[in-house]
Structure 1
Amino acid sequence: MTLEQLTELTEDPKNFLNRCKHYEQRIKLKQKQIQHYRDLEYSVTATIKEASAYTRTVSSKIENCSTAIIVMEEDIQKEIEQIKRDRLLIQEAINLLDNEDLRQILEARYIYEMKWEEIALLLEHSYRWTLRLHGKALKNISQKAKEAILSHI
């Protein structure tokens, strides 16, 4: 990890660990837009059969939809690559912790995107205890990042 990433982890560990979530939300929105364009494309091709006199405008609409879909799919691929890089960073940050339970909580929450109830069941802890351990894990990971920064200097 770079010093900048370690500093970010020290200052706001929860935000650092949540960095993939933003990309995933954007990907879902783009997928909905792609589906919208595909539906539009389909409805436009259906009208081609009905009105062959307007093929120029209809074909340009199809072309515009296809172009928009291609651009969005390329954006999604770039964001997926960014998610992969960020997941490796998150795993590297989680590996700073010595305590296995704390690592498991952070992995379950930030890598596997499990709900708190699922994490509590997995670790056989109560819901409240799981949340307390999560808070402890965030404090510990922040402290470990500070130690890593000091060892770089």
Structure 2
Amino acid sequence: MTNQEKKDFLNRYRDNEREIRRLRNEIQRWKDSAYITSVKYTGAGGGTDGQDKLQVNVERLVRLQNRLTAQMRARIQLRDEIEDAIESVPDDRLQLLLRYRYIEGWRLEKIAVEWNYDYRWVRRLHGRALEKLTLESPLSSVL
């Protein structure tokens, strides 16, 4: 497996985190829309247009909540898979570098600053960490 394939595997956790954030934002927008729709139409009599819009908003919210729940379950499984892969690296320092990069989402520049290392050295360490990384089930798909 190439280093790029390993990076793609490790990046799935952060991708999942971004999708969860996106879903949460979308849910909030639909909640706001449902609230506005319910306030706008509750005082007036006659017609069902407002109720139909409210029902559509609520149904959409339920679908989004279900997708969010599925993504959150996937996140747990992804993190476990990625943690197991990271633990396959024999060097604790390299494990920590991979955790910072792929679990915490730190850029290599930030790791270099935090560790007081030269950026080029951190890049070399990152390459070594990827070389030592072994993946038992690289094609595992939870998304």
TM-score bin (small chain) = 0.7 to 0.9
The equivalent of 2:21 in structure 1 is: 28
- Report which structure shows greater RCO (CA 8 Å, sep ≥6): 1
Output the amino acid matched with 1:33.
E
1:83 is the counterpart of 2:75: yes
Q: Residue type of the partner of 1:37?
A: W
Cα displacement (A) at 1:49: 4.4
More helix by share: 1
Residue by residue over 1:88-118, the C-alpha shift from the partner in whole angstroms, topping out at 9 and shown as x without a partner, is 1111111111112211110111111123233
Tell me the number of residue pairs that the alignment of Structure 1 and Structure 2 aligns: 135
**Which residue is equivalent to 2:104?**
112
Deviates more, 1:103-112 or 1:18-27: 18-27
Structure 2 CA distance for aligned equivalents of residues 36 and 15 of structure 1 = 31
TM-score, normalised with respect to structure 1: 0.78
Contact kept in structure 1, 2:13 and 2:75, CA below 8 Å = yes
2:35, 2:113 → 1: CA distance? 45
**Alpha carbons 2:14, 2:103 under 8 Å: kept:** no
Q: Which residue of 2 aligns with 1:63?
A: 55
Provide the identity percentage. Answer: 25
**Contiguous gaps of at least 5 residues in structure 1:** 1-9
Counterpart code for 1:94: I
Give, in whole Å, the separation in 2 of the partners of 1:45 and 1:32.
20
